[in-house]
Structure 1
Amino acid sequence: MTVERIALRESQLLIEDGIAQFSHQRPAARNALSAALRLDYPQMLDRVESDPNIRALVITGEGGSFCAGGDLKSMRERHTSANPQDRAPDGMRRRLLGMHAWMERLHSLEVPVVAAVDGAAMGAGFSIALVADFILASSRAVFCMSFAKIGLVPDLGAFYLLPRAVGLPMAKELALTARRVDAHEGQRLGFVHAVHEPEALLAEAMRFARRFVAGPRESAGLTKRLMNQSFETPFRALAEMEAQAQGIASTTPYHLAAVAGFLDGKPSMFDWDRNQA
């Protein structure tokens, strides 16, 4: 068993048995999204994207919080900075565009992404959870589009991600009221996949992610890319993209081996219902 542990600025990347685990490591600040933590995301993505042996990514937070959103101390420092550029609207715009660049990469990552949410997923932390393909939450997890509480608009892709997760009317309610949603309500609304006790959450998230290891990496990536574009792409264009993707998938070694195995009476290499260990 090979384990690779990479200490980043304010996070840690652990790679083991085909699963990458990225953990926010600012527990004293409830893993608020500092400038250093924001810089860790593209570095993590560089490593994950470059390794075809990684079959799933789990994102989590240390110390009972997933991510409490933007770092308010940093915001106050910018507001009181002697440098006019720090306070300028264009400064905020550029910072956010920089974050959007790695959020788009995370959204398009061609392996399943699992968010293991314990405790707070507030503001931008909620957006990071929503960009995952699956959210597994602890029974004490709390989600909140908290931006209105400090006079801001939702960010980090929330205007794209939230309506697709819960529908437009509910997205408006959550954004305009900034009310808190617990794990069980999140499950009823459809954006939480499963709820576990806090002490079991990470193990369950890793077990869930491990079930993808035997799966077809190429077709999983193609499926994600097409699904991510399904709401804004016309039928004809999406059908053309589907045909092209199927042309690629049908020539992969995985597909050829799977067909041959089926015809020879062998068990499927990827069986979600069977591979629950």
Structure 2
Amino acid sequence: MSYEQILYEVKEGVATITLNRPEVLNAWTDVIAEELWDATHKADADNDVRVMLLTGAGRAFCAGGDVTGFKSENPQQLIDKLPRSYDFSRRPDYQGRASYFPSLSKPIIAVLNGPAAGLGLVHALFCDLRFAAHDAVITTAFSRIGLASEYGMAWALKHVVGYPAAMDLLLSARKVRGEEALRLGLVNQTYSKDQLLGAAYAYARDLVENVSPRSMRVMKRQLWELPFQSLHEALISDSAEMLEANVCEDFQEGKCAFMEKRKPNFTGH
């Protein structure tokens, strides 16, 4: 698939996906949705990719939906259109238009280089980590234009920041920046705009070089399964995962690398 509204680059084990409509602050369209679905699944299937970065071109991450850019005038068609065919091997909760990110096996880091609002914020919330510029403006947006929270934003926001903060951010749609976003847990780290992408890339490279892809895959799944598990179910699941991990190749390599005081050469198996 050739891309018109995103950029896709793989380098040193990191796939960088860039929303590329800078002239309209990367406002979301059906085309972006189609291309992002393709790019993330391509990266997930690529053995040379271990981590994904999702960012925006120019001065914004994504300012929200572009109402002139959607092909369908029927809201129900927008809800139903993506993703493609139903996948029985994946949790149905994570097969929606924006909520499919947790079903991908590799970590996705949102790099919020500027405004992240509405649909842009929805997708950032379903990423596994969020790095932001100090002055990046983050807002739910919907209540101030008479809309409802959509595509699982309320669920994801509560999952990330907790009920009181989620309620505040949804009702007020107020703008949050830098230190407050960090304090709320809305983002993991903040940087100056000129350092942001480099810092996110360095973090991703550390994961590529020093962390077992198998461990990342399992731990991501463990965390995203937690909302649907009791503590007992989580304990049983964790025990089963640990038994499998104890006989996997990456664990054997990790032990050898530790004893030999060298960098591990993980394969993901």
TM-score by length of 1: 0.85
User: How far off is 1:234 after superposition?
Assistant: 0.9
Match of 2:249 in 1: 253
Q: CA RMSD, aligned part only?
A: 2.2
Distance of aligned partners of 1:46 and 1:111 in 2 relative to their CA distance in 1, 3 Å threshold: closer
Quick one: percent identity of the two aligned structures?
A: 25
User: How far off is 1:267 after superposition?
Assistant: 4.0
Inter-partner Cα distance in structure 1 for 2:46 and 2:144: 40
Amino acid in the other structure paired with 2:44: E
Inter-partner Cα distance in structure 2 for 1:162 and 1:42: 21
SS at match of 1:204: helix
Structure 2 matches for 1:1-277, cutoff 5 A? 8-74=3-69, 86-87=73-74, 89-95=75-81, 101=96, 103-214=98-209, 215-262=211-258, 264-267=259-262, 269=264
Match of 1:3 in 2: none
Inter-partner Cα distance in structure 2 for 1:167 and 1:200: 29
Inter-partner Cα distance in structure 2 for 1:140 and 1:219: 34
TM-score by length of 2: 0.87
Match of 1:82 in 2: none
Amino acid in the other structure paired with 1:241: S
Inter-partner Cα distance in structure 1 for 2:65 and 2:214: 35
Extract unaligned runs of 5+ from structure 2.
85-93
Extract unaligned runs of 5+ from structure 1.
1-5, 79-85, 271-277
Verify the 8 A CA contact 1:143 1:183 in the aligned structure 2. Answer: no
SS at match of 1:37: helix
Amino acid in the other structure paired with 2:176: V
User: How far off is 1:119 after superposition?
Assistant: 1.3
User: How far off is 1:252 after superposition?
Assistant: 2.0
Inter-partner Cα distance in structure 2 for 1:69 and 1:97: 19
- Indicate the structure (1 or 2) with the bigger Cα radius of gyration: 1
Inter-partner Cα distance in structure 2 for 1:7 and 1:64: 24
User: How far off is 1:114 after superposition?
Assistant: 1.2
What CA deviation, in whole Å up to 9, does each residue of 1:18-67 have, x standing for no partner?
A: 00000000001100111110111111022111112211111000011001
Amino acid in the other structure paired with 2:33: R
User: How far off is 1:92 after superposition?
Assistant: 4.0
SS at match of 1:137: strand
Inter-partner Cα distance in structure 2 for 1:146 and 1:96: 22
Verify the 8 A CA contact 2:98 2:122 in the aligned structure 1. Answer: no
Between 1:183-192 and 1:56-65, the stretch displaced more is 183-192
